[in-house]
Amino acid sequence: MAEYLLLFRGGEHEAARQSPEKWQANMEKWMEWMSSLNGQGKFAGAQPLKSSGKVIKGTSKQVTDGPFIEGKEIVGGYLICKAASYEEAVEISKGCPILAHDNGIVEIREIQDMEM
């Protein structure tokens, strides 16, 4: 079984403007989804990301504050799941609560094994 990285983009800033009750309900959906994956043995880890960060570019290794991109493109968090194929990872991703928002995006990437 391979591991897949699910990157979550957009959607969250909309939820952050909601009432505390709606925010809590949104978080409960995330916890239910992740608990379900864990119960199936398909959850390998997840974390939200803070909105601040640093960006290092090119051979000069210039460091700037960031990321400063459109809200819908900001990576807000990630989850690593286990799946037998890309198709299964896509099906897992379709249950992600971020997709309840019109601008919610899940990017799916297979994690490549590295031999050391």
CATH (domain of 36): 3.30.70.1060
Q: How confident is the model at residue 30 (pLDDT cuts 50, 70, 90)?
A: very high
Q: Which two tokens stand for residue 20?
A: 């505390």
Structural domain includes residue 58: no
Q: Give the residue-averaged pLDDT of 85-101.
A: 95
Structural domain includes residue 116: no
What's residue 5's pLDDT? 97
Structural domain includes residue 79: yes
Domain count, the chain: 1
pTM for the whole thing? Answer: 0.84
Structural domain includes residue 59: no
Residue 90 pLDDT greater than 90, yes or no: yes
Report the chain's mean pLDDT, rounded to a whole number: 88
Name the more confident of 81 and 77. Answer: 81
Q: Give the residue-averaged pLDDT of 81-97.
A: 97
- For 57, list phi and psi in degrees, rounded to 5: -125, 135
Q: For 56-113, give the DSSP string.
A: EETTTTEEEEE--S-GGGSEEEEEEEEESSHHHHHHHHTT-GGGGSTT-EEEEEEPPP
Angle at 34 between CA 28 and CA 38, to 5 degrees: 140
Structural domain includes residue 104: yes
Q: Which two tokens stand for residue 79?
A: 């989850």
Q: Give the residue-averaged pLDDT of 30-44.
A: 97
Q: Give the residue-averaged pLDDT of 80-103.
A: 94
Angle at 10 between CA 49 and CA 16, to 5 degrees: 70
Structural domain includes residue 85: yes
Place of tokens 């799916």: 108
**What is the tens place of the pLDDT at every residue in 4-29?**
999 998 876 555 667 888 888 888 99
Amino acid occupying residue 112: Q
Structural domain includes residue 30: yes
Structural domain includes residue 60: no
Domain that includes residue 29, residue range: 2-48+70-110
